[in-house]
Amino acid sequence: MSNTIRSVNVHHFLKAAILLGFSIYILLLTFTGDILQFIVPQLVIYVKIAGVFLIIVAAFQFYIAFLSLKKPVIICECGHGHEQDGESVLGHDHHHLLKKSLGKDIFIYSLFLLPLALGFLLPNHTLSSSLVNTRGMNLNGLTAQHASKGAAVEVVGNEDPKLKEMFKADVYNRDYAKLGMMIYKEDVIEMKDKWFIEKLQSMNTFVDNFQNKKIKIKGFIYRESGLSANQFIIARMGMTHCINDISPFGIIAETANSSQYANDSWVTLTGTIGKTTFNGQTVIKINVEKSEPAVAPSVPYVYPDWNFGSKL
């Protein structure tokens, strides 16, 4: 019977160790910032709460494990535990065959231990242009150009009446019109991580308004069929909710010496905005005037801000 008791104790401690391992891994990802390789920033707070909750559950499981050392418990198939006191257990007399299935136990624990070990041992690899071939490049923003959902009207606010006339929009594009007016007034439109996707969609929604405006963007080089010899795409990987829905977002760049830009290399481009047609859609392009080599950021993804309109 002593062997059985030791086996039961091992089960309790393994469960506790697995719970603690997952909680440590989750909290480690949040503290290092690597969690942004897997989910968008808006969801990080919920992951932190889950990590703290797992620590509490792990502590309780360790308590049960240490308690089992003092009060051995026999695991049986009747659905409840029994303190070992002979044949009379919890007011009824019966015998049980102890659960013994080493292969089953190894299989069940490996389902938890293997992904946990891989998480700690393997580096967090960033997805890049290799994914573009399967997902396709987004040159417009979160949505392609769409049919109007009502008459275009001027957005409310204290903007210059001439500017409001330029950025008339329907209900769907109201926020993109406001953003468009804001970035239109900038001497150089910088495509930083914040609102990268929203700016891309705004400029493509009001493509004619941004002709000849200065723009600066950092991203990786990608090429696909349908581009001219003097064109390539400068892109960023965008994460909508989690790593499962990553998609590439980019702008066509045009320069006479495009062959000098290697695929997957990171560059910072400065130029003027033009427009072109690709796959039947009118999209903005960059007439490259200056380029500089760039280093890929530690977290190279950009994330949509679903509430950006309220922050304008």
Q: Find residue 268's DSSP bridge partners.
A: 218, 292
pLDDT (mean) for 103-112: 83
Question: 200 and 249 in contact (C-beta within 8 Å)?
Answer: yes
At 115 the pLDDT is 85
Q: Compute φ and ψ for 160, nearest 5 degrees.
A: -55, 125
Give the three-state DSSP class for 281: strand
- Of 89-98, 107-116, 234-243, 248-257, the range with the lowest mean pLDDT is 89-98
**180 or 143, higher pLDDT:** 180
Residue 133 has pLDDT above 80, yes or no: no
Closest by CA to 232, choosing from 248, 215, 214, 255, is: 255
Kindly write down the DSSP assignment for every residue of 196-227, as one continuous string.
Answer: HHHHHHHHHHTGGGGTT-EEEEEEEEE--TT-
CA pair distance 49, 69, nearest whole angstrom: 31
Q: Tell me the pLDDT of the chain averaged across its residues.
A: 84
Structure tokens at 310: 């309220």
pLDDT-wise least confident of 62-76, 87-101, 242-256: 87-101
d(CA 133, CA 61): 46
- Residues 6+ away with beta carbon under 8 Å from 172: 146, 149, 150
- Contact (Cβ atoms closer than 8 angstroms) between residue 183 and residue 196: no
What does the pLDDT look like over 236-247, one tens digit per residue?
999 988 888 888
Q: So where are the chain's domains?
A: 2-121, 129-311
Distance CA 27, CA 125 (A): 19
The answer to whether residue 170 scores a pLDDT higher than 80 is: yes
| Residue 227 to residue 261: CA distance in whole angstroms | 14
Confidence grade of residue 98 (pLDDT, cut at 50, 70, 90): very low
pTM score of the predicted model: 0.78
158: its two tokens? 């204290």
Give CA–CA dist 97/115, Å, rounded. 32
Q: Please tell me the number of Cα atoms within 13 Å of 262 on its side-chain side.
A: 5
How distant, in Å, are the alpha carbons of 1, 80, 81, 82, 206 from that of 89?
A: 16, 11, 9, 6, 77
**Whole-angstrom distance, CA of residue 282 vs CA of residue 140:** 9
CB-based contact 73:84 (threshold 8 Å): yes
- For domain 129-311, which CATH number applies: 3.40.50.720, 3.30.565.10, 2.40.50.140, 3.40.1710.10? 2.40.50.140
Instruction: List all residues 6 or more positions away from 123 whose beta carbon is below 8 Å from its beta carbon.
Output: none
